[in-house]
Amino acid sequence: MRAMIRRASLALLGLALTSAALAAPKDPVKFAVTLEQMRGHYDASLLNYRNGDLAMATKHAKHPANELYAAIRGDLTPGLQQKFLADYARINQTLAAKKPSAEYQRVMNTFYADVDAALATLGSTRTDPKFAAQVIAGILENAEHEYEEGVQGGKVTNLAEYQDAMFYVARARGWFDRNAARFPQHQREETAAALKAAAAVIARKGDVKALEQAVDQAKEELAEVSGVRRAAASGNATYFTNIDRLLAAAKSRYAGGMGDDAEEALINAYLENFEYLESPLAKKDQALETKLEKTLREDLRALLKSKPSPQKFSAAVDAALADLNKARALLGE
């Protein structure tokens, strides 16, 4: 009898662990958008690899593993976490060994298949047109931001950001093509036209305002499908407030032994907030912008991974906050 009870208990425990591992992501839209950002970076990496630009291929390939993975790691099953990390390692090894482009394509396809497996954990949500409309809108917002950073006056000023915008729009188009049949006809036609216009602006390196107009048109139609209107772009003051809050959270989480949660706060401080301050700050003080970007994007996370004392980590965050206050003053916030 005791053996039977023990076996039953173990079975229930296994079921509970499996259920926990398969729990839905906290924010399914953000989860899907981040995964498509990863694919967009790798699309750009593959293009540059084929064109013989190993440096740019490597630059794009760094973002998924070094930057974006931490944002979705907690939403992946343990098995998918292992697969993603193995994929990143194979991609980096292929790059370093300068294998033929066909080999690079093969390892990339393996990663794309694992992304599909991650999206499959969303279940029926993945094929819900309302959900798809929100994902498309989110990808387009990221494309618009990258384009603003990459093109000025009809010229590419940052090739990596320009290419990100190009492939993000292509990824948004892919989501649209797979889901358009479930959209109402008017929204389907208008969104298709807006996506075509956005791609055309990027191809001709057109004015940023023209891309904003195309993206806004798409988002308006997509909101009609989803019933969810994307929040208006935040002002600089809001971004600074968010960064302050997230860095404070990173300190408290690390002090409480929650290193992964602290890293997630750092990622959000950079990706969801500081990135939108980079352009205006660079116009005021390029050196400060570069320093803060490196601090928030790389240095604090590298320090975190070295497992410093809570006091040392807190001191580093406080130094970053002091620089952020300088940036706040420069931008009149």
pLDDT tens digit string along 116-135? 999 999 999 999 999 999 99
DSSP 307: -
The reported pLDDT for the residue numbered 276 is 85
Contact between 3 and 93 under an 8 Å Cβ cutoff? The reply is no
The reported pLDDT for the residue numbered 39 is 98
- Please, which pLDDT band fits residue 308 given cuts at 50, 70 and 90? very high
Sign of the dihedral defined by the CA atoms of residues 98, 100, 101, 107, in that order: negative
- Please, which pLDDT band fits residue 180 given cuts at 50, 70 and 90? very high
Q: Please list, in sequence order, all residues whose beta carbon lies within 8 angstroms of the beta carbon of residue 179, skipping any fewer than 6 positions away.
A: 127, 129, 132, 133, 136
Closest to 61 in 3D by CA, of 108, 99, 113? 108
For the cut 60, the answer to whether the pLDDT of residue 258 exceeds it is: yes
For the cut 90, the answer to whether the pLDDT of residue 2 exceeds it is: no
Structure tokens at 63: 């973002």
Among the residue ranges 53-67, 148-162, 226-240, 294-308, the one predicted with the least confidence is 226-240
- The pLDDT of 169-184, averaged and rounded, is 97
Structure tokens at 290: 């570069």
For the cut 80, the answer to whether the pLDDT of residue 15 exceeds it is: no
pLDDT tens-digit map of 193-215: 999 999 999 999 999 999 999 99
For the cut 80, the answer to whether the pLDDT of residue 23 exceeds it is: no
**Chain-centre distance for alpha carbon 68:** 5
The reported pLDDT for the residue numbered 230 is 64
For the cut 60, the answer to whether the pLDDT of residue 25 exceeds it is: yes
Identify which has the larger pLDDT, 84 or 277: 84
The reported pLDDT for the residue numbered 16 is 37
The reported pLDDT for the residue numbered 9 is 41
Among the residue ranges 8-22, 43-57, 90-104, 165-179, the one predicted with the least confidence is 8-22
The reported pLDDT for the residue numbered 234 is 64
Percentage of the chain modeled with pLDDT above 70: 91
- The pLDDT of 301-305, averaged and rounded, is 92
Q: What is the mean pLDDT of the chain?
A: 90
The reported pLDDT for the residue numbered 128 is 96
The reported pLDDT for the residue numbered 113 is 98
pLDDT tens-digit map of 46-66: 999 999 999 999 999 999 998
Sign of the dihedral defined by the CA atoms of residues 25, 28, 31, 32, in that order: positive
SS3 of the chain: CHHHHHHHHHHHHHHHHHHHHCCCCCCHHHHHHHHHHHHHHHHHHHHHHHCCCHHHHHHHHHHHHHHHHHHHHHHCCHHHHHHHHHHHHHHHHHHHHCCCHHHHHHHHHHHHHHHHHHHHCCHHHHHCHHHHHHHHHHHHHHHHHHHHHHEECCEECCHHHHHHHHHHHHHHHHHHHHHHHHCCHHHHHHHHHHHHHHHHHHHCCCCHHHHHHHHHHHHHHHHHHHCCCCCCCCCHHHHHHHHHHHHHHHHHHHHCCCHHHHHHHHHHHHHHHHHHHHHHHHHHCHHHHHHHHHHHHHHHHHHHHCCCCHHHHHHHHHHHHHHHHHHHHHCCC
The reported pLDDT for the residue numbered 271 is 84
For the cut 80, the answer to whether the pLDDT of residue 20 exceeds it is: no
Percentage of the chain modeled with pLDDT above 90: 77
